[in-house]
Amino acid sequence: MATVGFRIRTKNKSYVFIKIYLYAQKSVRLDTSTGIKIYSKYWNKNLQQIDYEAPNFQKNNQKLIELKKYVLDKVNDSTKNNLDLPWLKLVVNKFNGRQIFTEENTVVFQSKLWIKNNSSRIKPNTIKFYSVFIKVIIEFEKDINQRLVFEELNLVLLENFKNWLLNEKEYSINYSNGIIKGLKTISKEVLKREIKVNQQVFYLSCFKNDSIKKIINLISISEFEKIKNLKIQSNSLLNSKKWILIGYSIGQRVSDLLELSIDNVRQANNNRLYIDINQKKTGKFVTVGIVDKVVIDIILNSFPHKISNSKFNQDIKKIAELAEINQIVEGYKYDGSKKKLFRTISKISIIVFPRPQKIFCNQSLWENTHSHSNETYRSLKGKYVFRICW
């Protein structure tokens, strides 16, 4: 059974707020200000009321009695899962006739406003992420029957949110961390507009990946040669094969790779090629040297036409199957939802275009490429441009 009481925090003669506290479950005490302020010398700790010597003691004591009854009634009308500090603050504020909640102070409203105000300067993938982020927040609000207001984002509520992401929704750690980072980013943005934000949101930590076995599967040299020498009849797959071979040589993101044209190409004095790239994600201009003769011939004489990212990744699997890249490997793969499961599986089913860090880097490419630091090349020398993703 829930217990409601009152207290003050200080023992000196200062002018302080009377606190209301609530024990609702598991001996956890929640407390917040009642809005009533008195000199501490007028507080009767045993009776939990104001002494008769204080100004307006009858009026304020009656208010405490009514507040206690109001809170207990609300406790009986609520589920135990909702009884947290934001809930208690909201109940007290409603009793006092103070309305903290406005639509403009909610996470959903400000996220939509941020997208609207910045749509011309942020990348499409960022807009896509925050659109998904808003849907996740709305779903959480429905589950807890409470709107997320920036001023009420305390650690108790935020830890509940983290637990909901990972355990109830069973999202992956990386996906959950992305949502957490998105919330912190939006909170920083609204501070610029002088909206009150509970500073505890910035102390919210992400999940650690230490407990998850990290596996990176890379295409071997022999598998690369299989793709390179593969004879393909389909014009569509042949076009994708050309993109694959160029991708091996430049080690850039797929969004940058598939935007290339012959206009990005420059010939070097040593019969090799340079490709100039303006990276979409970083906004940086980089130059990558091409040393493979087969790739040089493709670029100069039969440059591939543009295709979509999804079509490219579909064709990669088909080409890998034709090249008999069917090694059985260990890795993580989605089970149809957003949860990754560790399993033993064929490379064909999990191969997609890589992240740029996993680049093919031989000695010649090192000497002719200017897009990465020496430290990056030392760490990646001998790696291959395609990785296995899950």
- Kindly report the pTM of this predicted structure: 0.51
pLDDT digits (tens, 9 = 90+) for 64-113: 999 999 999 888 877 665 677 777 887 888 888 765 557 888 999 999 99
- The contacts of residue 241 (CB under 8 Å, 6+ apart) are 227, 230, 232, 319
Element (H, E) at 307: none
Query: What's the pLDDT score for residue 299?
Result: 94
State in Å, rounded, how far the first CA of the chain is from the last one. Answer: 48
Return the domain boundaries, the chain. 3-95, 103-203, 217-388
Element (H, E) at 20: strand 15-23
Q: From residue 359, how far is each of 20, 59, 330, 356, 362 by CA, in Å?
A: 60, 75, 21, 6, 10
The order of strands in the sheet holding 285-290 is 265-267, 273-278, 285-290
pLDDT digits (tens, 9 = 90+) for 333-368: 665 555 555 566 666 665 665 543 344 443 334 334
Could you give the CA distance from residue 207 to residue 93 in angstroms, rounded to a whole number?
A: 33
pLDDT digits (tens, 9 = 90+) for 174-183: 889 999 999 9
pLDDT digits (tens, 9 = 90+) for 218-250: 677 788 788 889 999 999 999 999 998 998 888
**Among 105, 82, 57, 74, CA closest to 4:** 74
Q: From residue 178, how far is each of 36, 91, 160, 162, 253 by CA, in Å?
A: 41, 32, 16, 11, 20
Q: Which fold has domain 217-388?
A: hpI Integrase; Chain A (1.10.443)
Choosing among 1.10.150, 1.10.101, 1.20.120, 3.40.50, the CATH entry for 103-203 is: 1.10.150
Whether 103-203 and 217-388 share one fold: the answer is no
pLDDT digits (tens, 9 = 90+) for 146-163: 889 998 888 888 998 999
Could you give the CA distance from residue 276 to residue 210 in angstroms, rounded to a whole number?
A: 38
pLDDT digits (tens, 9 = 90+) for 180-211: 999 999 999 998 877 889 899 999 888 876 54
Q: Is residue 215's pLDDT more than 80?
A: no
Query: What's the pLDDT score for residue 249?
Result: 83
pLDDT digits (tens, 9 = 90+) for 310-338: 899 889 889 988 988 877 776 666 655 55
